[in-house]
Structure 1
Amino acid sequence: MSRTMKVAIVDDEADMRQSISQWLALSGFDTETYASAEDALKGISADFAGVVVSDIKMPGMDGMAFLKRLMSMDSGLPVIMITGHGDVPMAVEAMRVGAYDFLEKPFNPDRMTELAKRATQARRLTLDNRALRRELSDGSVLMKKLIGASPVMERLREDILDLGQADSHVLIDGETGTGKTLVAHALHAVGPRATKKFVTISCAAWSEDQLSAKLFGPAEDGTIPLVEEARGGTLCLEDVEALSQSLQARLLTLINDQGTPPETRIIAICNEHAPDKTLEDALRADLYYRLGAMTILCPPLRSRGEDILTLFTRMSEQFAEEYGCEAPQVTAQEAAQLLQAPWPGNVRQLVNIAERAVLQNRRGSGSIASLLMADNEASGPAMTTEGKPLKEYVESFEKMLIDNTMRRHKGSIVAVMDELCLPRRTLNEKMAKYGLQRQDYT
């Protein structure tokens, strides 16, 4: 979603529409104006990427009727109402119906700008949350988030599609930052329970008594126990290794009482166990074998080869768009350093470094190498990647360079040939070698 949001201005007085529009445009807003509520409804729909400023007193459909229509269409849409002198009771009624705020004429333009900024921030958060909820319920979108062409990622996607169709409980293991929660959401979204609830809780975030009440009830706040809320859907237990012995016993009883196939599917995520121990050591044996009938191991980033460069490029581009600046250009030396780094924090660490690299690039200082060095020093001793032949580093960098250039020029072969000084036949051969297709960039 674009970071610039619209302000729809609705007023039957042309001078008022124009003055509000000009002032907000000078403040950096993208404005559009309507002379009536009827016209505005033709251009404003649910998920409108912006906010509405409307007069209350208008011929035809007045502001109150307009507000009620907007709220029935999208109750999360911020609407700022403009009232005349003495219309405060009407403004209060508008707030009750769902207006974001109101301004009384004559109003201070700076106050209008302040309200518009707060309203657009609220709108952006609402739309971002909606987009996230859609993504978490859309299996195809979630699978696309599992970026990478390495054999381990191909296998992970295949496992998700296979196990997603099953009813058995699933155990997800892997190092911190490898995307285990994303995999859990994907397992639910690609399976037959996708339209049912996906309920998640961290077993490490609560005391034993609190967790017991939240899972099995009775909860002090009167909320439904999570095992009831998830009935028929999926219950995701993050940090399952943190469950006490007594709660493990209650969970095992729940599983045994459900029968086969289980009414509620349980996806258990292990986020940390001792290096010399397995999850089997952390859970009682009977529970482990019930939960671990099917297992998925999320691969560490250091085992994913050139996926590292692909991920770094994608993350850098996203942050560059968010911050309104250019993404850093990765040199051959930096590409090798990214491939050789131990990545103890896995994908989460890579995302953090990509964001910091973009911020550094915006200031015109620093390097990716310095960020990697600082991160590795802070994290202490870590496993290192095995060395690779020079040819593999060269090919990984070459693929990244062509991919980035194609993306930047939106698939223009001529522009890529010019920038990389490559004849068309050579470029075609290299794209075929690396599995790059022009239609993916247009």
Structure 2
Amino acid sequence: MSRAMKVAIVDDEADMRQSISQWLALSGFDTETYASAEEALKGISADFAGVVVSDIKMPGMDGMAFLKRLMSMDSGLPVIMITGHGDVPMAVEAMRVGAYDFLEKPFNPDRMTELAKKATLARRLTLDNRALRRELSDGSVLMKKLIGGSPVMERLREDILDLGQADSHVLIDGETGTGKTLVAHALHAVGPRASKKFVTISCAAWSEDQLSAKLFGPAEDGTIPLVEEARGGTLCLEDVEALSHSLQARLLTLINESGTPPETRIIAICNEHAADKTLEDILRADLFYRLGAMTILCPPLRSRGEDILTLFTRMSEQFAEEYGCEAPQVTAQEAAQLLQAPWPGNVRQLVNIAERAVLQNRRGSGSIASLLMADNEASGPAMTTEGKPLKEYVESFEKMLIDNTMRRHKGSIVAVMDELCLPRRTLNEKMAKYGLQRQDYT
């Protein structure tokens, strides 16, 4: 299970701190409490992995001064302000300074949870994009992150290289968890705008008025509208299906005025739409045809064959290193179950299961099969998958077994021969068959 996003709660009243903390903890958040702004500043820094909930009226440094300090340190940090009755003008001023939103006492706890979830989504996207910008400085690194040798992944990488150079607007569609944000970054990194800014925003994480101000201005806090910040580079719109009709019209005007080739490239990502609807049904037709002239469809995990085993092995090895334990050894039966699973959550679901499998293995209990069963029950009726010949399952498992053993022995052919009880000629033939090369492990 992926680790919960943190919520820092800052309030000089102990009862209020405790009640907010308990409620949010019950909702799945990892909470930290602080009795003063000064104390909180010692525990909150730029790139803080969470959001902040703060009272406005506090002794010493009050909420407004605290908010200004946080914004100067990290303007992308969502801060939810709590105001007393009659302090709405102060709350409006806090929004102008950069607060994410505010709640007036007494507030509905469910409303607090709803705001915290939206702020968490916005924060996670901000941090993910910062990490990508720091880590992925060139397209070659990004392309290596698109792991897999299946035909659909080979085609995806080819599409990214082709459309990256084309420099037109692109629409990315696909099921949740298929890596659409990574593909968007790759499109930018392999194209002629790689040295320019890549600016991204989730259209679902903000209200219509907030999104309008952030995209087009005027922003009350004086920040540059994102369409200006991205000028000459790439503007990535996550959750484009959440755009209101009025904002779709403004976006279309921007595109029409941008010219050909466009001054600013737009990459639109669709993250969710009803099974009986396409994005063409959701967006106004003229906007859809401008954005969808070039389209990339990210393949679902269930269509990627043995990539499933490759990804599971890589992810479990990474988590094992992180947690300081051994990665679980996948049996033939478990490999078949991984290949046959419907994977409604796609790569994101696989990453979660790999982490939980490592934690189970550290405790010496549980199985991959039980994790898959629990996930499928939680996600509702399983999607059907086509059966495969036994030969394909056997070959996928065999490739995974040789790959894992080569990794563990750092390319030592003798050690692999001994562990798998294979003569050298047989091992060489199988490595050639599966495209495994010794130099990749040394």
Q: Same fold (TM over 0.5)?
A: yes
Equivalent pair of 1:169/1:267 in contact (CA under 8 Å) = yes
- Structure 2 CA distance for aligned equivalents of residues 149 and 223 of structure 1: 44
Q: Is the 2:198–2:230 Cα contact (8 Å) retained in structure 1?
A: yes
Deviates more, 1:132-141 or 1:380-389: 132-141
Q: Which residue is 1:182 aligned to?
A: 182
Distance 2:247 2:109 in 1: 59
Distance 1:200 1:306, change over 3 A: same
Deviation of 1:134 (Å): 3.2
Cα separation, 2, equivalents of 1:36 and 1:214: 30
Greater mean alpha carbon deviation, residues 148-157 or residues 120-129: 120-129
The Cα shift of 1:135 comes to 2.8
What is the rounded CA distance, in whole Å, between the counterparts of 2:306 and 2:123 in structure 1? Answer: 38
**Cα shift readout 1:123-178 (whole Å, capped 9, x = no counterpart):** 99999998643333321111001000000000000000000011210000000000
Q: Is the contact between residue 3 and residue 322 of structure 1 (CA under 8 Å) also seen in structure 2?
A: no
Query: Is the CA contact 1:38–1:61 (under 8 Å) kept in the aligned structure 2?
Result: yes
Using the TM superposition, name which of 60-69 and 157-166 deviates more. Answer: 60-69
How many pairs are equivalent?
442
Relative to structure 1, is the Cα distance of residues 406 and 75 closer, same or farther in structure 2, using a 3 angstrom cutoff?
A: farther
Q: Sort the Cα spacing of 1:428 and 1:142 in 2 relative to 1 into closer, same or farther, 3 A.
A: same
Q: Is 1:410–1:441's contact at 8 Å kept on the other side of the alignment?
A: yes
- Describe the shift of the 1:379–1:89 C-alpha distance in structure 2 as closer, same or farther (beyond 3 A): closer
Are 1:377 and 2:377 an aligned pair? yes
Distance 1:338 1:240, change over 3 A: same
How far apart, CA to CA, are the structure 2 residues paired with 1:239 and 1:108? 27
What residue is the counterpart of 1:8 in the other structure? 8
Q: CA shift at 1:221, angstroms?
A: 1.0
Q: Secondary structure at the residue paired with 2:4?
A: coil
Return the alpha-carbon distance in structure 1 between the equivalents of residues 175 and 114 of structure 2. Answer: 45
Shift of 1:425: 0.2
Contact conserved, 2:96 with 2:220, CA < 8 A, in 1? Answer: no
Q: Which runs of 5+ in 1 are unaligned?
A: none
Deviation at 1:402, TM superposition (A): 0.1
Deviation at 1:384, TM superposition (A): 2.1
SS of the equivalent of 1:8 reads strand
Distance, in Å, in 1 between the alignment partners of 2:112 and 2:207 is: 47
Contact 1:174–1:180 (CA<8 Å) still a contact in 2? Answer: yes
Q: In 2 relative to 1, CA 190–61 (structure 1 residues): closer, same or farther, beyond 3 Å?
A: same
Contact 2:98/2:221 (8 A) holds in 1: no
Aligned equivalents of 2:17 and 2:381: distance in 1? 63
Q: CA 1:15 to 1:404, structure 2 compared with 1: closer, same or farther past 3 Å?
A: farther
C-alpha spacing 1:412/1:129, structure 2 compared with 1 (3 Å): farther
TM-score by length of 2: 0.72
Aligned to 1:117: 117
Distance 1:286 1:336, change over 3 A: same
Residues 135, 142 of structure 1: 8 Å contact kept: no
| Residues 398-407 or 22-31, more deviating | 22-31
Pair 282,402 (structure 1): closer, same or farther in 2 beyond 3 Å: same
User: How far has the Cα of 1:31 moved from its partner?
Assistant: 32
The CA deviation at 1:7 is: 30
Deviates more, 1:319-328 or 1:1-10: 1-10
Structure 2 distance, partners of 1:180, 1:415, is: 40
* Cα distance in 1 for residues equivalent to 2:89 and 2:207: 49
Structure 1 pair 223/310, CA: closer, same or farther in 2 (3 Å)?
A: same
* CA 157–17 in structure 1, closer or farther in 2 if over 3 Å, else same: closer
8 A Cα contact 2:172 2:268, kept in partner: yes
| Contact 2:75 2:98 (C-alpha < 8 Å) held by counterparts | yes
Q: How well do the aligned residues superpose, as a CA RMSD in angstroms?
A: 10.3
The answer to whether the Cα contact below 8 Å between 1:337 and 1:369 also exists between their aligned partners in 2 is: yes
Residues 23 and 179 (structure 1), Cα distance of their counterparts in 2 relative to 1, 3 Å cut: closer
Note the alpha carbon deviations across 1:224-265, whole angstroms, 9 max, x for none: 000000000000000001111111000000000111110000
C-alpha spacing 1:398/1:230, structure 2 compared with 1 (3 Å): same
Contact 1:54-1:79 within 8 A present in 2 as well: yes
The 3-state SS of whatever aligns with 1:165 is helix
Looking at structure 2, the residues matched to 199 and 339 of structure 1 have their Cα atoms a distance apart, in angstroms, of 36
TM-fit CA distance, 1:83: 42
* TM superposition shift of 1:382: 3.0
Residues 418 and 79 of structure 1: is their aligned pair in 2 closer, same or farther, counting only changes over 3 Å? farther
* C-alpha contact (below 8 Å) 1:8/1:31 kept by paired residues: yes
Preserved CA contact (<8 Å) 2:96 2:221: no
Q: 1:286 to 1:405 in 2, by over 3 A?
A: same
Q: CA shift at 1:21, angstroms?
A: 39
Q: In 2 relative to 1, CA 440–51 (structure 1 residues): closer, same or farther, beyond 3 Å?
A: farther
Aligned residues with identical type, % of pairs? 97
